[in-house]
């Protein structure tokens, strides 16, 4: 099926969503997505940041769609023409959605562990306005611990439902969900039960904001001071791939996460043992430095050191990367 997004045509399989077609093309025309997660079935359609305009329905029925549609849940038709960044209407609506997402968000990025790898931060930077027009108290919640490894800070939540889908589909049972409705709705467990499951840690990775954070990493360090390194181990859990990113500070592994792609989605889910308990370099086989996009703050302080860290010294791949980075930085 042929679909044209912002004037760029691509052939895709029937049943592909507009968002996935745009991701195949790549670049600026990919609509941002806060709630859609390609690994989770049924996700998407809620945050409305991925709204696009369908200016031509299909070859058969060329009428445009009357409203903006959520690109993550709308499948392409043959000959469909979609406008994303070429439509002022879409940009205006997206600006509105970002504003809505931010009015009850605490904007506590300076003390938030997610800062630097936060989808909402990126979204607000790209599409938001510098000032808010909201002049009322923001909704707040108490922090609660769901399980001994995960902390829920509901105030930051944007209710994307990703963690609910994760618990449904990745773990064997779900005990957290949405309580209440409207802007009172919150992610919570019924009567403060603990989320205890081999795969529960994945909710931290899927959370687009800092609402679900790793208690073993909380306030340990900023993301941009740590050095991400790809590694793997032979995990005996049958569903765990063992492919992770280690976040180093000096010689210590501060945090283990699953590997995320350019859209912030994990490549494969990992078990809690890998995530929380294996924090020594000797537990892992190091593959090489993680590729971080140039625009990301995560590139700060990475490999430009004259005196490389001990973990770099012992690994030829990291040494090579360090050298390249060093040359690039010093040339500038």
Structural contact between residues 183 and 104, judged by C-beta atoms closer than 8 angstroms: yes
The answer to whether residue 249 forms part of the interface with another protein (CB under 8 A) is no
Structural contact between residues 274 and 204, judged by C-beta atoms closer than 8 angstroms: no
CB of 8 to another protein, least distance (A): 25
The answer to whether residue 45 forms part of the interface with another protein (CB under 8 A) is yes
The answer to whether residue 63 forms part of the interface with another protein (CB under 8 A) is no
The answer to whether residue 97 forms part of the interface with another protein (CB under 8 A) is yes
Cα separation, 237 vs 241, whole angstroms: 8
Strands (E), 62-121: 69-70, 80-83
CB of 136 to another protein, least distance (A): 5
The structure tokens listed for 301 are 């302080």
The answer to whether residue 184 forms part of the interface with another protein (CB under 8 A) is yes
Nearer to another protein, 101 or 206 (CB): 101
Which residue among 64, 134, 148, 296 contacts another protein (CB under 8 A)?
134
Nearer to another protein, 47 or 203 (CB): 47
The answer to whether residue 51 forms part of the interface with another protein (CB under 8 A) is yes
CB of 50 to another protein, least distance (A): 11
Annotate 275-300 with DSSP letters as a single string: III--SGGGSEEEEEPP--TTSGGGT
Q: What are the start-end ranges of the H helices in 141-244?
A: 162-169, 202-206
Residues 142-181 that bind another protein (CB under 8 A): 158-159, 161, 177-178, 180-181
Residues 255-314 that bind another protein (CB under 8 A): none
CB of 185 to another protein, least distance (A): 4
Cα separation, 49 vs 97, whole angstroms: 6
Nearer to another protein, 75 or 299 (CB): 75
- Site stretch for another protein (CB under 8 A), options 99-107, 202-210, 263-271, 309-317: 99-107
Q: What are the start-end ranges of the H helices in 104-157?
A: 119-127
Q: What are the start-end ranges of the H helices in 111-157?
A: 119-127
Nearer to another protein, 89 or 251 (CB): 89
Upper half-sphere CA count for residue 16 (Cβ side, 13 Å): 18
- Residue in 301, 303, 319, 213 with CA at minimum distance from that of residue 257: 213
Q: How many CB atoms lie within 10 A of CB 6?
A: 18
Which residue among 100, 115, 297, 305 contacts another protein (CB under 8 A)?
100
Nearer to another protein, 48 or 302 (CB): 48
Q: Which long-range contacts (CB under 8 A, 24 or more apart) does 196-199 make?
A: 196/147, 197/167, 197/171, 197/172, 197/173, 197/272, 198/171, 198/237, 198/239, 198/271, 198/272, 198/273, 199/170, 199/171, 199/239, 199/240, 199/269, 199/271, 199/272
Structural contact between residues 312 and 318, judged by C-beta atoms closer than 8 angstroms: yes
CB of 96 to another protein, least distance (A): 3
Which residue among 60, 131, 133, 142 contacts another protein (CB under 8 A)?
133
- Site stretch for another protein (CB under 8 A), options 97-105, 145-153, 263-271, 276-284: 97-105
- Residue in 149, 97, 88 with CA at minimum distance from that of residue 127: 97
The answer to whether residue 99 forms part of the interface with another protein (CB under 8 A) is yes
Which residue among 63, 67, 143, 280 contacts another protein (CB under 8 A)?
67
Binding site for another protein (CB under 8 A): 44-49, 51, 67-68, 70, 73, 93, 96-97, 99-101, 103-104, 133-134, 136, 158-159, 161, 177-178, 180-185
């Amino acid at each position: 099926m042929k679909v044209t997004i912002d004037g760029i045509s691509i052939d895709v399989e029937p049943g592909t969503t507009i968002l996935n077609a745009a991701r195949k093309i790549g670049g600026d025309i990919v609509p941002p997505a806060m709630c859609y997660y390609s690994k989770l079935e049924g996700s998407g359609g809620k945050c409305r940041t991925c709204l696009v305009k369908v200016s031509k329905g299909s070859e058969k029925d060329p009428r445009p769609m009357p409203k903006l549609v959520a690109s993550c849940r709308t499948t392409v038709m043959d000959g469909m023409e979609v406008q994303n960044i070429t439509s002022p209407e879409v940009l205006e609506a997206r600006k509105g959605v970002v504003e809505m997402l931010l009015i009850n968000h605490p904007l506590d990025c300076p003390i938030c562990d997610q800062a630097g790898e936060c989808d909402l931060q990126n979204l607000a930077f790209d599409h938001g306005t510098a000032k808010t027009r909201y002049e009322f108290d923001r909704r707040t919640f108490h922090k609660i611990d769901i399980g001994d490894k995960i902390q829920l800070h509901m105030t930051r939540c944007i209710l994307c439902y990703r963690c609910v889908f994760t618990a449904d589909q990745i773990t064997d049972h779900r005990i957290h969900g949405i309580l209440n409705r409207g802007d009172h709705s919150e992610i919570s467990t019924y009567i403060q039960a603990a989320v205890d499951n081999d795969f529960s840690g994945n909710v931290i990775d899927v959370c687009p904001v800092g609402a679900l954070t790793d208690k073993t990493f909380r306030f340990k360090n900023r993301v941009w001071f740590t050095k991400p390194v790809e590694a793997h181990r032979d995990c005996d859990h049958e569903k765990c791939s063992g492919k992770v990113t280690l976040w180093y500070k000096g010689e210590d592994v501060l945090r283990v996460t699953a590997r995320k792609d350019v859209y912030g989605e994990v490549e494969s889910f990992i078990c809690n043992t890998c995530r929380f308990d294996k924090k020594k370099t000797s537990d892992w086989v190091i593959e090489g430095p993680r590729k971080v996009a140039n625009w990301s703050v995560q590139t700060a302080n990475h490999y430009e050191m004259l005196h490389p860290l001990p973990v770099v010294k012992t690994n030829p791949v990291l040494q090579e990367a360090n050298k390249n980075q060093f040359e690039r930085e010093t040339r500038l």
